[in-house]
């Protein structure tokens, strides 16, 4: 059996159906009506040990709900979940020993005590031997720089500090599986880099299985090889990250820096049919978008150089971002990729 396996995992939330305003709320007191909202529908997921999976989708797609069912916080309405041989919501305590969880928006640290004491308490809770505890903290120190955080009281941590401390807290007991729910949300670039480097190190050195939800596509490209895309509670794509890019990130852009504004942009477009010209910030700049399977970059360069005086240019590599953006906008049918 795979490390994490779900079959037909479904979560339905019952929400009260209220009219608008106070009148609606009062009326609801007497005539209670509910509506079922399917947050996650029939999700089949199989994750092998050592995999790093990005779980992506627009807001409200069911990402967090999925994570919460995998971690045992929520009980699925129907379907099965197994993680490392246990049913998370039934064997919570056993499950807790196998997993580490970080929610980017919340902290598991105690609010009123220094980080050092929070970690010490978690050491007791997880029954970690002193020597292993110290070795683990030592190994985290390089990338998370815990030293400076240890004396700080929970509520005084900045967001970046908090995230570093929370990562340490979630991983003290060396869990097999790490769930990260938007771990880099709101962080500045340098902390983001550090968090990503830390997670990569964890995967490389400890073989930790990582499942990550994020809106930051940098996280995905940096950490994960596999991507699962969910929309309206259903998995619409599950597969190799590179394959998605090859199949769907067809659009490429080139950016030109010119001596003078182009005299006749239409002439450029006419030389390479199918391209789209976009004016740059300054009149001397020009962007060209094209489908890399229909037009070659060389043709585009040749066309622009014929019609204008080029100083410099660069190409944007196709990024997963484009795919995701289209999925979010509902413009992409991913079922083609699964075939």
Partner 1 sequence: MVVASRIGRPIVLYARCLAVQIKAVLEYQADFWILMMASVLMNLVGFVFLWTIFSKIPDVDGWTFWQVVVIYALVFVAEGVGSLFFEGTWNLAFLVNRGELDFMLLRPVSPISQVMNCAVGINGLGNLLLGGTLIGLSLSHLHIHWTLGRVALALLLLVSAIATKIGLNLATNASAFWIQSPFSGFAFSMHQLGDLARYPITIYASAVQALITVAVPFAFISFFPAAAVFSKNGWRLGGVELPLRWFGLATPLVAVYCCWMGVFLFRRGLRRYESAGN
Residues making contact with partner 1 (CB under 8 A)? 13, 60, 63-64, 68, 71-75, 92-94, 96-97, 99, 101, 103, 105-106, 108, 110-113, 117, 121-122, 124-126, 181-182
Could you tell me whether strands 234-240 and 226-231 are parallel, antiparallel, or unpaired per DSSP bridges?
Answer: antiparallel
CB of 92 to partner 1, least distance (A): 6
- CB of 106 or CB of 225, closer to partner 1: 106
d(CA 229, CA 215): 12
- C-beta of 333: minimal distance to partner 1 in Å? 27
CB 302, min distance to partner 1, A? 49
Alpha carbon distance 44, 79 (integer Å): 9
Q: How far is the CB of 125 from partner 1 (least distance, A)?
A: 5
Q: Which is nearer to partner 1, 2 or 73 (CB)?
A: 73
Provide, rounded to whole angstroms, the least separation between the CB of residue 250 and partner 1. Answer: 32
If the CB atoms of residues 109 and 272 are measured against partner 1, the closer one turns out to be 109
Compute CA distances 163 → 88, 123, 186, 250, whole Å: 25, 18, 10, 35
In this complex, which beta carbon is closest to partner 1, that of residue 81 or of residue 258?
A: 81
Q: Toward partner 1, which CB reaches closer, 22 or 93?
A: 93
Minimum CB–partner distance for residue 126 and partner 1 (Å):
6
Our CB check for partner 1 shows the closer of 128 and 272 to be 128
């Amino acid at each position: 059996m795979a490390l994490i396996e779900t079959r037909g995992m479904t979560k339905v939330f019952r929400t009260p159906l209220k009219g608008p305003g106070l009148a609606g709320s009062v009326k609801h007191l007497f005539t209670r009506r509910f509506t079922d909202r399917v947050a996650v529908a029939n999700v089949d997921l199989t994750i092998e040990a050592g995999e790093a999976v990005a779980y992506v989708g627009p807001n409200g797609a069911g990402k967090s709900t999925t994570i919460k069912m995998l971690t045992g916080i929520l009980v699925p309405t129907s379907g099965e979940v197994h993680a490392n041989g246990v049913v998370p919501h039934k064997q919570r305590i056993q499950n807790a020993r196998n997993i580490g969880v970080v929610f980017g928006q919340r902290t598991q640290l105690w609010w009123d005590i220094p980080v050092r004491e929070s970690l010490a308490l978690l050491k007791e809770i997880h029954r970690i031997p002193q020597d292993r505890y110290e070795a683990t903290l030592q190994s985290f120190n390089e990338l998370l720089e815990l030293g400076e955080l240890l004396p700080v009281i929970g509520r005084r941590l900045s967001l970046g500090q908090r995230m570093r401390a929370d990562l340490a807290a979630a991983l003290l007991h060396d869990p097999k599986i790490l769930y990260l729910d938007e771990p880099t949300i709101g962080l500045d670039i340098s902390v983001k880099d550090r968090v990503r480097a830390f997670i990569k190190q964890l995967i490389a050195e400890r073989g930790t299985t990582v499942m990550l939800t994020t809106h930051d596509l940098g996280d995905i490209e940096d950490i994960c090889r596999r991507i699962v895309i969910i929309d309206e509670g259903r998995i619409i794509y599950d597969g190799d990250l590179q394959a998605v890019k090859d199949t769907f990130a067809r659009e490429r852009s080139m950016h030109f820096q010119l001596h003078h504004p182009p005299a006749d942009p239409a002439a450029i477009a006419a030389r390479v049919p199918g391209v789209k010209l976009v004016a740059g910030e300054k009149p001397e700049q020009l962007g060209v978008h094209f489908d890399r399977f229909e037009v070659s970059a060389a043709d585009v360069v040749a066309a622009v150089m014929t019609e204008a005086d080029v100083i410099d240019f660069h190409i944007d590599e196709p990024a997963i971002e484009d795919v995701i953006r289209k999925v979010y906008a509902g413009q992409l049918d991913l079922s083609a990729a699964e075939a």
